[in-house]
Amino acid sequence: MDIIDLEVDGYERVVRTHDGESGLHALIAVHDTTMGPALGGMRMWPYASEDEALTDVLRLSKGMTYKSAVAHTGLGGGKAVVIGDPNEIKSEALFLAMGRFVDSLGGKYITAEDVNIAVPDLEIVRRTTKYVTGLSREDGGSGNPSPYTAYGVFLGLCAACEVKFGSEDLSSRSVAVQGVGAVGSALVRRLRERGAKVWVCDVRNDRAREVGDQYGAEVVSMDAIFDVDADVFAPCALGAVVNDATIDRLNVEIVAGGANNVLHEARHGAELFRRGVLYAPDYVINAGGIINVSVEFAPGGYDQETSLKKIERIPAALKEVWEISASQGIPASDAADHLAESILAEARRG
């Protein structure tokens, strides 16, 4: 397998391979290992070009460094992207080759699930590398991360209510949840248990109705979710949902959800701040999943209690971010980056 190093400023290592035999065309970016080995998922996507894939892997791996730094997982940031249509290119040979590619970094990069990659795929990858996490509990892994992500989002949302309204009590609060997949539905359950009024939507109407019926949440259309008169908007579907088209419609005091890359551009974070909307930066509030995976590296292996204790620190991390935001007069999204950079700088100083 030919592995070619790409020199990219600010990244420890970026490698590519285009393996004729298995058809594997992939990139791995190791952004930063100051805090520990670079952990981040493997994404499969039909990128239009290798350049597009490179942009994505660089952005995502840096995001993982920041997320892990603020969550104190003891891990660095990395990511892998496999170029191609998952309906066409998945094969045993491809995942075995991907395992060899991951293995070539000698543990500097550790892989996990991401978009279009599932546990059965990783089980093949594991045959050619040991640097794989997030496998099932039966296989000694930490299992499905979604319930842990949802737990962290729920705690973060409560902390936002405490900061904004002076109380964590949700019985008089209302939340619009966009997307009720693995994370969104688990969040809805917790919110309803605490007596919040909840609206839900999903691109899959049947799914929205099912979750609405099960937990007693009101179903609205995908478009109407932006206009609901709620205290909190909780994006749990796609990224870039706070954008030029939606920001004026949001009638909420808090944006706090599980989705990655919630802000379309940094200026949308600045606009939320200007309007007095409290934003829980995505990679801080949705770190429960990576925290859970990181516990696999604890001496003695995975332990759920340790994981939950660490996830319960997410509210403290968010409050630190909001304090920086308030004291420096900067958007919470920028304050989170400042916090991550200061944690990394301190670790580099030793």
What residue ranges bind ligand NAD (CB under 6 A)?
145-146, 149, 178-184, 201-204, 207, 222, 236-238, 258-260, 286, 289
**Toward ligand NAD, which CB reaches closer, 101 or 151?**
151
For the CB of residue 307, give the shortest distance to ligand NAD in the complex, in Å.
13
**Toward ligand NAD, which CB reaches closer, 114 or 231?**
114
**Rounded to 5°, angle at Cα 182 from 177 and 183:** 50
DSSP assignment letter at 12: S
Give the SS3 label for residue 42: strand
Q: How far is CA 214 from the centre of its chain?
A: 26
Q: What is the DSSP string of 156-213?
A: HHHHHHHHHHS----TT-EEEEE--SHHHHHHHHHHHHTT-EEEEE-SSHHHHHHHHH
- The residue number with the shortest CB distance to ligand NAD is 181
**Toward ligand NAD, which CB reaches closer, 143 or 331?**
143
Positions marked active-site: 79
- Gap between the Cα atoms of 168 and 157, Å rounded: 9
With beta carbons less than 8 A apart as the criterion, state whether 273 and 248 touch: no
Taking alpha carbons only, the member of 78, 70, 104 closest to residue 340 is: 70
**Rounded to 5°, angle at Cα 157 from 155 and 163:** 105
For the CB of residue 133, give the shortest distance to ligand NAD in the complex, in Å.
13
Q: Please state, in angstroms and as integers, the Cα–Cα distance from residue 106 to each residue in 38, 77, 90, 99, following that order.
A: 11, 15, 24, 11
Give the SS3 label for residue 16: strand
For the CB of residue 253, give the shortest distance to ligand NAD in the complex, in Å.
21
**Toward ligand NAD, which CB reaches closer, 124 or 219?**
219
With beta carbons less than 8 A apart as the criterion, state whether 90 and 112 touch: no
For the CB of residue 209, give the shortest distance to ligand NAD in the complex, in Å.
12
User: Which residues fall within 8 angstroms of residue 203, CB to CB, at 6 or more apart?
Assistant: 179, 222, 237
**Toward ligand NAD, which CB reaches closer, 96 or 222?**
222
**Toward ligand NAD, which CB reaches closer, 22 or 185?**
185
Helix residue ranges, H only, the chain: 50-71, 86-89, 92-103, 119-125, 146-165, 182-193, 205-215, 266-274, 282-285, 288-294, 304-311, 314-328, 332-349
**Toward ligand NAD, which CB reaches closer, 212 or 289?**
289
